[in-house]
């Protein structure tokens, strides 16, 4: 069996999805996602210039060897661009293998460990009342878990995760007004004064059963993060995400000494080497990597297995930047993983997205129900894709009030 061709498409409804389609001499094809948010042209170029020419003629069933070939063969290892490109190839090869087997992908991992995978939605409010309404909205839709982000009184611009008026949470993550980012102002003192009490009020309003998550988005110093974690301890959060910048693995030690709040980190990690120390030293409770830019299914499964040895559960990244292809790959991992925790879930559900990526994966009462179709269980409509093309976009950049550059 041989790979005969592969193509990359960039574009999508409100997002620059990077979609890889790998064709074979047996008519079976596989799909992969390399949508590195706001840097999408780069994994697309990596695929077109380096990986696709090396794929033609190879046996698609040898996904492990091809992964090693690209990873070791690059000489310069890791990095989100390369890992996103390897990841897309890897997803496509697993898709082909499971289609050949005539099985849904989770069967190749060891079958299903659960019927539905718990997901969380994003509730957002410009103030606390607004946020309470947003939480109630998701609860009414059947969600059992919500991430809560709130505007901070006196903060000159919206804080992380809060949509501007008129914009839905799905739209605000990428600003399509151009490649030069907007700037936001951050004030740690105002955040520290407001947020713990706001979280306590949310718990009082919604009672003990709602799973409440909060994302600090890398904004605090280690000592501040430890203080914050201590302050929110009575709220009983499901998790506190990215309390400190994720590149410093030692930063969480102080927090761990002072608090038992569950910690989630890793949406920016692209390899097992970024989180090995955090996992082995049991400094985290949830791993946030995504198959999209952490080397695909082969590499993420390796991370999940290491996590299982250290009581770390999964909480894969699922911001709208990921296409339904990598969300499908994660749905299969979620169905299997013995150490599954939760899945962030925002991407599916718009009619345009469903038309471009038809699938039978579905959400029921806050649970993701994996499709039983062979392979990843998601398709890609090339005719639909013709209406979309790449649109430049960016994340905001964050500064303190005196102009010092801070972490987005
Ligand atoms: C999350 C994330 C995202 C990121 C975005 C950056 O927890 O969902 O923090 O919202 O900001 O993916 O590209
Ligand atoms: Mg996050």
What is the overall mean pLDDT for the chain?
95
Residue 169 confidence (pLDDT): 58
Report how far residue 298's alpha carbon sits from residue 277's, in angstroms, rounded to the nearest whole number.
20
Q: pLDDT band for 25, please (50, 70, 90 cuts).
A: very high
What single-letter DSSP state applies at residue 122?
E
For atom 11 of ligand 1, which residue has the closest CA? 173
**Is residue 307, in this structure, part of any structural domain at all?**
yes
**Is residue 404, in this structure, part of any structural domain at all?**
no
Question: Are 217 and 270 part of one and the same domain?
Answer: yes
Substitution site in 242, 317, 344 for ligand 1 pocket (most atoms within 8 Å of beta carbon): 317
Question: Are 195 and 258 part of one and the same domain?
Answer: yes
75 has pLDDT over 80? yes
Residue 171 confidence (pLDDT): 57
Report how far residue 361's alpha carbon sits from residue 75's, in angstroms, rounded to the nearest whole number.
38
The finding on whether 37 has its CB within 6 A of some atom of ligand 1 is: yes
Per-residue pLDDT reduced to its tens digit, 362-384:
999 999 999 999 999 999 999 99
Residue 6 confidence (pLDDT): 98
| Token pair in block for residue 104 | 């849904």
Q: pLDDT band for 350, please (50, 70, 90 cuts).
A: confident
Among the candidates 48, 83, 103, a domain finishes at: 103
What single-letter DSSP state applies at residue 275?
H
Residue 214 confidence (pLDDT): 98
**Is residue 158, in this structure, part of any structural domain at all?**
yes
Residue 161 confidence (pLDDT): 82
Contact assessment for residue 210 and residue 139, using Cβ atoms and an 8 Å cutoff: yes
Report, as an integer, the average pLDDT of 334-353: 90
SS3 content of the chain, % helix, strand, coil (to 5): 40, 20, 40
Helix (H) or strand (E) holding 123: strand 117-125
Residue 164 confidence (pLDDT): 66
Q: How far is the CA of 24 from the centre of ligand 1 (A)?
A: 35
Q: pLDDT band for 157, please (50, 70, 90 cuts).
A: confident
Question: Which among 392, 376, 366 has a CA at the least distance from the CA of 32?
Answer: 376
Question: Are 322 and 264 part of one and the same domain?
Answer: yes
Question: Which among 264, 255, 217, 257 has a CA at the least distance from the CA of 237?
Answer: 264
Contact assessment for residue 292 and residue 84, using Cβ atoms and an 8 Å cutoff: yes
Q: 1-25 in b/e burial notation, b at 16+ Cβ within 10 A?
A: eebeebebbbbbbbbbbbbbbbbbe
Range of the domain at 7: 3-103
Report, as an integer, the average pLDDT of 231-252: 96
The finding on whether 169 has its CB within 6 A of some atom of ligand 1 is: no
Contact assessment for residue 259 and residue 226, using Cβ atoms and an 8 Å cutoff: yes
Report, as an integer, the average pLDDT of 254-275: 98
Question: Which among 76, 15, 79, 7 has a CA at the least distance from the CA of 42?
Answer: 79
170 has pLDDT over 60? no
The finding on whether 217 has its CB within 6 A of some atom of ligand 1 is: yes
Question: Are 88 and 19 part of one and the same domain?
Answer: yes
Residue 348 confidence (pLDDT): 57
| Reported pTM | 0.97
Question: Which among 245, 190, 194, 193 has a CA at the least distance from the CA of 216?
Answer: 245
Report how far residue 358's alpha carbon sits from residue 377's, in angstroms, rounded to the nearest whole number.
9
* Phi and psi torsions of 121, nearest 5°: -105, 170
**Is residue 391, in this structure, part of any structural domain at all?**
no
Q: 3-class DSSP state for residue 165? A: coil
The finding on whether 215 has its CB within 6 A of some atom of ligand 1 is: yes
* Phi and psi torsions of 407, nearest 5°: -90, 130
Residue 175 confidence (pLDDT): 86
Q: Would you name the residues annotated as active-site residues?
A: 160, 217
**Is residue 389, in this structure, part of any structural domain at all?**
no
Substitution site in 267, 320, 343 for ligand 1 pocket (most atoms within 8 Å of beta carbon): 267
The finding on whether 288 has its CB within 6 A of some atom of ligand 1 is: no
Q: What is the DSSP string of 333-371?
A: HHHH-TTEEEEE--SS--HHHHHHS-B--EEETTEEE--
Question: Are 92 and 181 part of one and the same domain?
Answer: no
Residues 6+ apart with CB under 8 A from 204: none
Per-residue pLDDT reduced to its tens digit, 91-120:
999 999 999 999 999 999 999 999 999 999
Among the candidates 49, 79, 103, a domain finishes at: 103
Question: Are 57 and 179 part of one and the same domain?
Answer: no
**Is residue 398, in this structure, part of any structural domain at all?**
no
Question: Are 148 and 249 part of one and the same domain?
Answer: yes
β-bridge mates for residue 359, sequence order:
378
Residue 168 confidence (pLDDT): 60
Q: pLDDT band for 163, please (50, 70, 90 cuts).
A: confident
Question: Are 89 and 227 part of one and the same domain?
Answer: no
Per-residue pLDDT reduced to its tens digit, 129-144:
999 999 999 999 999 9
Report, as an integer, the average pLDDT of 312-316: 98
Number of domains, the chain: 2
What single-letter DSSP state applies at residue 288?
-
The finding on whether 319 has its CB within 6 A of some atom of ligand 1 is: yes
Q: At 47, which CATH number?
A: 3.30.390.10
Report, as an integer, the average pLDDT of 226-246: 98
Question: Are 178 and 278 part of one and the same domain?
Answer: yes
For atom 1 of ligand 1, which residue has the closest CA? 319
What residue has token string 């970024």? 274
Question: Are 139 and 232 part of one and the same domain?
Answer: yes
Q: pLDDT band for 9, please (50, 70, 90 cuts).
A: very high
**Is residue 399, in this structure, part of any structural domain at all?**
no
Q: How far is the CA of 319 from the centre of ligand 1 (A)?
A: 6
**Is residue 27, in this structure, part of any structural domain at all?**
yes
Question: Are 315 and 170 part of one and the same domain?
Answer: yes
- pLDDT over 70 percentage in the chain: 97
Substitution site in 38, 158, 161 for ligand 1 pocket (most atoms within 8 Å of beta carbon): 161
- pLDDT over 90 percentage in the chain: 91
Q: How far is the CA of 215 from the centre of ligand 2 (A)?
A: 6
Contact assessment for residue 243 and residue 233, using Cβ atoms and an 8 Å cutoff: no
Q: 3-class DSSP state for residue 75? A: coil
Q: What is the dihedral of CA 116, 118, 119, 124, to 10 degrees?
A: 140
Residues 6+ apart with CB under 8 A from 203: 210, 212, 235, 236
Question: Are 68 and 197 part of one and the same domain?
Answer: no
Report, as an integer, the average pLDDT of 40-61: 98
């Amino acid at each position: 069996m041989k790979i005969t061709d592969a193509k990359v498409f960039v574009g999508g409804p409100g997002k620059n999805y990077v979609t890889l389609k790998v064709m074979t001499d047996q008519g079976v094809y596989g799909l992969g996602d390399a949508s590195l948010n706001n840097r999408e042209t780069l994994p697309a170029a990596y695929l077109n210039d380096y990986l696709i020419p090396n794929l033609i003629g190879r046996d698609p069933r040898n996904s492990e060897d091809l992964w090693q070939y690209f990873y070791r063969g690059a000489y310069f290892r890791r990095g989100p661009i390369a890992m996103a490109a390897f990841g897309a190839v890897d997803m496509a090869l697993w898709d082909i293998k499971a289609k050949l087997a005539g099985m849904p992908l989770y069967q190749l991992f060891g079958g299903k460990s659960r019927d539905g995978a718990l997901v969380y939605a994003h509730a957002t409010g410009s103030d606390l009342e607004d946020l309470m309404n947003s939480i109630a909205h998701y609860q009414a839709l059947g969600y059992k878990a919500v991430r809560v982000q709130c505007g901070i009184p006196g903060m000159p611009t919206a804080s992380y995760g809060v949509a501007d008026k008129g914009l839905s949470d799905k739209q605000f993550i990428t600003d399509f007004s151009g490649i030069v980012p907007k700037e936001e102002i951050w004030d740690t003192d105002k955040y520290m004064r407001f947020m713990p009490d706001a979280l306590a009020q949310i718990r009082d309003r919604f009672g003990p059963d709602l799973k409440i998550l909060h994302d600090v988005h890398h904004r605090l110093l280690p000592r501040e993060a430890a203080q914050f974690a201590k302050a929110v301890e009575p709220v009983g959060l499901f998790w506190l995400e990215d309390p400190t910048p994720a590149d410093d693995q030692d930063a969480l030690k102080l927090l761990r000494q002072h608090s038992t709040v569950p910690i989630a980190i890793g949406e920016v990690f692209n390899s097992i080497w970024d989180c090995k120390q955090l996992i082995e030293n049991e400094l985290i409770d949830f791993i946030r990597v995504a198959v999209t830019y952490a080397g695909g299914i082969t590499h993420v499964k390796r991370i999940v297995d290491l996590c299982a040895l250290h009581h770390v559960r999964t909480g894969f990244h699922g911001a709208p930047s990921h296409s339904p292809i990598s969300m499908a790959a994660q749905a299969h991992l979620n169905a299997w993983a013995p150490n599954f925790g939760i899945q962030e879930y925002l991407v599916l559900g718009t009619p345009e997205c469903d038309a471009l990526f038809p699938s039978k994966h579905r959400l029921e009462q806050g649970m993701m129900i994996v499709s039983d179709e062979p392979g990843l269980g998601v398709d890609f409509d090339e005719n639909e894709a013709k209406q979309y093309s790449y649109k430049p976009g960016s994340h905001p950049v964050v500064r303190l009030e005196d102009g010092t550059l801070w972490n987005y």
